[in-house]
């Protein structure tokens, strides 16, 4: 049996196929992309929506677009941040209330890298990570502990409240 050859990188067929590295879809185009480019696109779109900067161009991450530099700074910061935290934690932190007024992870800096971490964003992700770890630990402890339920007392049912002969309804029937 012959193996299927993978399409070459930057080919339209490659962008339409799911793979282990390209498991997220661009919000704008629907093509498959890496984790870093997906989150960077999410941040840019949140930023432009919040400040009414207009809708970005179709593929705003391409070179020459006005959002390209900002996209690349976020993407590079996410590549380094991915080594410290899981992808799932980063995405959940960005969509949580901890990231309410934070729009960038990578900020412009005049150094050899050209970017630096947004300290507030890193603190928000760390705080979210601690909260989820504590919640998971609590869930484990609760799962391990056996809860003893109090014994239920059997309530005996009364057979009848009034004798049938002297009931009010029977007296009325007799009239």
Segment (H or E) for 116? strand 115-117
Under-50 pLDDT residues of the chain:
1, 7, 9-10
Half-sphere exposure of 47 (CA within 13 A, CB side): 15
> In Å, how far are 71, 143, 146, 155 from 149, measured between CA atoms?
56, 15, 9, 18
Is the pTM for the entire model greater than 0.85?
Answer: no
Q: Find out whether 125 and 102 touch, Cβ atoms under 8 Å.
A: no
**SS3 at position 91:** helix
Q: What is the pLDDT of residues 24-72, one digit of tens each?
A: 888 877 888 888 989 998 999 999 988 988 888 878 788 888 888 888 8
């Amino acid at each position: 049996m012959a193996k299927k050859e993978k399409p070459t990188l930057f080919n339209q067929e490659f962008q339409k196929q799911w793979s282990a590295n390209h498991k997220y879809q661009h919000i704008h185009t629907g093509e498959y992309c890496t984790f870093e480019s997906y989150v960077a696109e999410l941040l840019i779109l949140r930023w432009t929506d919040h400040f009414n900067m207009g809708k970005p161009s179709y593929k705003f991450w391409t070179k020459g677009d006005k959002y390209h530099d900002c996209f690349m700074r976020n993407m590079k910061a996410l590549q380094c941040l991915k080594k410290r935290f899981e992808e799932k934690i980063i995405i959940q932190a960005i969509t949580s209330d901890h990231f309410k007024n934070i729009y960038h992870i990578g900020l412009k800096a005049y150094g050899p890298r050209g970017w630096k971490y947004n300290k507030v964003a890193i603190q928000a992700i760390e705080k979210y990570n601690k909260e989820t770890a504590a919640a998971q630990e609590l869930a484990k402890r609760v799962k391990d502990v056996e809860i003893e339920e109090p014994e239920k007392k059997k309530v005996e049912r009364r057979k009848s409240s009034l004798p049938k002969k002297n009931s009010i309804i029977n007296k009325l029937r007799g009239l």
